[in-house]
A and B are shown apart, each in its own frame.
Chain A
């Protein structure tokens, strides 16, 4: 995959970003780069963090209110405003995908779950595209979503990632981190962190399925479809249907996700494997949704959403998620209903059976609660 034009390790051109921008950028870019570096000297000699310089999204009541900015390949957030609510398409794929994706995500929460934006109080939905240069990632920073361009700075033969706005479920995933922050606020470590990741995949997938008008049986349950370039052997980043099968490529390796507790990965890396062990609750959701049938956002999605909103705590683990989704399914659709049974079966199949204590005259009660 190396381009012959480049010598030695420079076969993949490193994006030196700030220093290079100062050397060769336009006057406007140079000024911005210098400003970014100057920030390093602030805050008692320490770098002012991105979070500190992020303009906090306004928590206001009202309708859908989106703003999409461009970081113009720097790391200053939110950047330059490119599109506001109601503005026509810009023709810039990064901007328009971020705008449309945020809209589809808002609509799922609003129209299906009766939630008003990220904080349920009409918060502006802020997105920034073109973050840094060659940045292979998207993230939620506590106040807004941020998307990198992927490997657009590299020769096509060397590219692994496309732009991170390319897949609607990535946008839904990042925005869901905001919803989780305002609800259970699951600690981003070990099992609670993997649940945090899983809820983002679940709602990201539901946004995609709803836009495509797909039933649970029709959906592909792939997260990040289209993010890899054709240079990678893979269908996406994760498979909720078959965790561990999304990619298997000589360069990036094999998808490490387990789909059963027997294969739970114990690691200190990535906050205790939050992007790995999320495969287990992901599969539980897929199994519950397909057994219930129909559109996954209508019943399974509702069960998972209410559990996140009303039941889970910051330190909840997989067992809590299993027991509480079961409890919520009973609350919403009745004890021993088909929906509750589907939830029970799903968690059992991933090695996390529901633990119930039958108490005569008191209905069912969860252990330890």
Chain B
């Protein structure tokens, strides 16, 4: 991924109800981190998923995840829950969770 890009990530809900979010600008990361994020973005194939709203189910206390990323020319918002999170997106989400916690720590 040659061009700089931004990702907004938010995790809500869960038993504790503690929200967590981070706004990442790829060009603000050091090279190793940028490479890691590039790889996770590519592996996640995020832009090939449909932007569907979260629908009601019988899950209670699960996390809700929202990712806002630029796909080609348009910005798209993807919403998932623990129940609908695609396995290929899991590593990206975990990285963003840790990034959000790390930024809060600073």
Contacts and interface: CB of A to CB of B under 8 A. Distances in A.
Interface of A: 1-2, 7-20, 36-37, 39-40, 47, 49-51, 75, 134, 136-143, 158, 160-161, 164, 170, 173-174, 177, 181, 187-189, 196, 200, 224, 227, 237, 251-253, 269-271, 274-276
Contact of B62 (A36, A137, A170): A137
Given A9-B99, A18-B90, A136 B16 contact: yes
Contacts, number: 142
Contacts of A141: 58-59, 62, 83
B16 A8 contact: no
B12 interface: yes
A177 B17 contact: no
Interface in B23-50: 29-30, 32-33, 43
A247 B82 CA distance: 26
Contact of B15 (A10, A37, A173): A173
Contact of A9 (B14, B87, B98): B98
Given A37-B87, A270-B64, A50 B15 contact: no
Given A37-B87, A40-B88, A173-B61, 12 more contacts: A9-B29, A10-B33, A47-B84, A137-B15, A138-B15, A139-B82, A141-B58, A161-B16, A164-B15, A177-B61, A252-B104, A270-B13
Nearest to A256: B17
Given A8-B33, A15-B94, A224-B15, A142 B61 contact: no
A39 B16 contact: no
24 contacts: A8-B29, A9-B33, A9-B102, A11-B102, A12-B101, A14-B99, A17-B94, A19-B91, A40-B86, A40-B87, A51-B58, A75-B82, A137-B14, A137-B15, A137-B82, A139-B15, A139-B61, A140-B59, A158-B101, A173-B61, A196-B60, A251-B101, A270-B19, A275-B16
Given A7-B32, A8-B30, A177 B87 contact: no
B6 to A, nearest CB: 16
Given A11-B102, A269-B19, A140 B61 contact: yes
Nearest to B106: A2
Contact of B98 (A13, A36, A140, A188): A13
B62 to A, nearest CB: 5
B63 interface: yes
Interface string B62-106: 111000000000000000001110111011001101110110110
B102 A12 contact: yes
B57 interface: yes
A75 B17 CA distance: 21
